[in-house]
Amino acid sequence: MNIAVIGTGYVGLVTGTCLAETGNHVVCVDIDVNKVEKLRNGIITIYEPGLESLFEHNIKQGRLSFTTELHEGISGADIVFLALPTPPGNDGSADLQYILKVADDLGQLLTKYTVIVDKSTVPVGTAERVRDHISKNTNQEFDVVSNPEFLREGVAVEDFMKPDRVVIGTTSEKAKKLMSELFAPLVRQGNPILFMDERSAELTKYAANSFLATKITFMNEVANLCEKLGADIDAVRKGIGTDTRIGKRFLFAGIGYGGSCFPKDVQALAKSSKSVDYDFKILNAVMDINTSQKVKLIPKMESYFNGDLANKTIAIWGLAFKPYTDDIREAPSTENIRILIEKGAKIQVYDPEAIENIRVKFGDSINYYEDEYSALKGADALLIVTEWPIFRTPDFVRMGELMNQKLIFDGRNLYATELPEKHGFTYISIGRKEIYGK
Ligand code: NAD
């Protein structure tokens, strides 16, 4: 099939590349001239495991190309995916300006029956609005389908190629047939394509992300309680996770969720609920708790240093909002860095992939290092923010030699508490006993 993907960010580039890999001819469109220039020159613009080789292979095969021109991109397309940003507007609801602008333009460009697919995360009723915006400018037959994306950054290619399920919101038989054909190679193992109405498909995405954010937040609350009651969150996690009704995943306590999706989607669902006079109370609690959870180690750090972080050197391991990505949107690292700078601390950071993105945000106000050990030189404390595997089995002896003090604040509970304790570290983590080094 001929496919156009409008918006070539995390979702668009993965969607375009993977659909080219399954044999389609894909043109990706983006208004960012620099991005398109790089992609045309074979330079990948995001870090996503496994993506680069598929990207190179499909360009070479002539199935994947890039343009800044919408009319060029959609010419001959059977299906047009919208993978555009839906950031929070001033009031927290999803800002649909990018989607509706492209819908207006598409109306002027359709020359044959086309399926327009909302892949962006959009509030209930958006498919109808997109349809209205397109029809204003055309008499061509077309369908608008909601096909929310569930890929996780860091494993996006795998998630796209082997989805747990594909959700397709449409009542058009013609669109259903085309979408089924397109997704057939991805669900050969028997995972379902779930057809439903557009509104339910749109809500499914928000409900999924909000449920996951709630699950994480619930465990963070239990962890905070563990600290007060002298219980251990790891033991409690295992205790409840073995109950098949609860399941083992998304039960790890830490310093909050971030990223481009959970924070904005929880906020947008709360706003959508409010707009129909429904007070979705649990979502407000989730947002409040997560905001404080993200920076919960700072007061502990301050209290350790008798209320004064000025001129303390703090090393930070991990900047991306989660491992295997360079994405720092809403990452807990950014809020911690901001506050630490404000308090006069000197900051030394390392992340395997996200350094350049953090450099754009913080410039010369912090120091950047090439590996995890050099970031520790002369540090008064280490703050662990992202659970990259490289941080899981460090050389504690070497760490102790490099640091000014053997002091770790671990926002991701990477170590069994005995390990840093054995090496004389003070080790303060989430929902577990605080260890004070000798
Ligand atoms: P992104 O910001 O990485 O990419 C969006 C791209 O759209 C950018 O490259 C931007 O230049 C481009 N763009 C903006 N206006 C344009 C226009 N008029 N024409 C062409 N291109 C235009 O965003 P993303 O992370 O890929 O997210 C896209 C959507 O998918 C959002 O709604 C998001 O909530 C949803 N989503 C994201 C993820 C994720 O993990 N990132 C997962 C599932 C769903």
Query: How would you write the pLDDT of the chain (438 residues) with one tens digit per residue?
Result: 999 999 999 999 999 999 999 999 999 999 999 999 999 999 999 999 999 999 999 999 999 999 999 999 999 999 999 999 999 999 989 999 999 999 999 999 999 999 999 999 999 999 999 999 999 999 999 999 999 999 999 999 999 999 999 999 999 999 999 999 999 999 999 999 999 999 999 999 999 999 999 999 999 999 999 999 999 999 999 999 999 999 999 999 999 999 989 999 999 999 999 999 999 999 999 999 999 999 999 999 999 999 999 999 999 999 999 999 999 999 999 999 999 999 999 999 999 999 999 999 999 999 999 999 999 999 999 999 999 999 999 999 999 999 999 999 999 999 999 999 999 999 999 999 999 987
Return the best residue to mutate from 260, 264, 329, 357 for the ligand 1 pocket (most ligand atoms within 8 A of CB): 260
As a whole number of angstroms, the distance between CA 305 and CA 322 comes to 28
> Nearest to residue 409, comparing CAs of 438, 379, 389, 364?
379
Q: What is the pLDDT of residue 438?
A: 75
Structure tokens given for 171? 């009542």
Residue for token digits 């410039």? 363
Q: Is the pTM of this model over 0.75?
A: yes
SS3 360: helix
Hey, which residues are catalytic here?
261
* Residues 47, 51, 53, 55, CA torsion sign: negative
Could you give phi then psi for residue 120, rounded to 5 degrees? Answer: -60, 160
> Nearest to residue 96, comparing CAs of 71, 134, 127?
127
**CA dist 399 → 18, 111, 433 (Å):** 42, 64, 21
* Ligand 1 pocket residue status of 6, Cβ below 6 Å: yes
Q: How far is the CA of 58 from the centre of ligand 1 (A)?
A: 21
* Ligand 1 pocket residue status of 84, Cβ below 6 Å: yes
- Burial string for 149-171 (b: 16+ CB within 10 Å, else e) reads bbbebbebbebbbebeebbbbbe
Report residue 137 CA to chain centroid gap. Answer: 35
- Burial string for 46-78 (b: 16+ CB within 10 Å, else e) reads bbbeebbebbeebbeeebbbbbbebeebbeebb
Q: Which numbered atom of ligand 1 lies nearest the CA of 122?
A: 32
Q: How far is the CA of 364 from the centre of ligand 1 (A)?
A: 29
Structure tokens given for 425? 């570290």
Q: Check: CB of residue 402 under 8 Å from CB of residue 373.
A: yes
> Nearest to residue 275, comparing CAs of 58, 112, 421, 92?
92
Could you give phi then psi for residue 65, rounded to 5 degrees? Answer: -140, 170
As a whole number of angstroms, the distance between CA 383 and CA 210 comes to 28
Q: Check: CB of residue 385 under 8 Å from CB of residue 347.
A: no
Q: How far is the CA of 99 from the centre of ligand 1 (A)?
A: 10
* Ligand 1 pocket residue status of 154, Cβ below 6 Å: no
As a whole number of angstroms, the distance between CA 132 and CA 321 comes to 37
Q: How far is the CA of 291 from the centre of ligand 1 (A)?
A: 24
Report residue 398 CA to chain centroid gap. Answer: 33
The DSSP-derived string for 36-79 is HHHHHTT---S--TTHHHHHHHHHHTT-EEEES-HHHHHTT-SE
What's at 310, amino acid-wise?
A
Q: 266: Cβ–Cβ under 8 A, 6 or more apart, which residues?
A: 209, 210, 213, 283, 286, 287
> Nearest to residue 303, comparing CAs of 407, 190, 423?
407
Q: Check: CB of residue 346 under 8 Å from CB of residue 175.
A: no
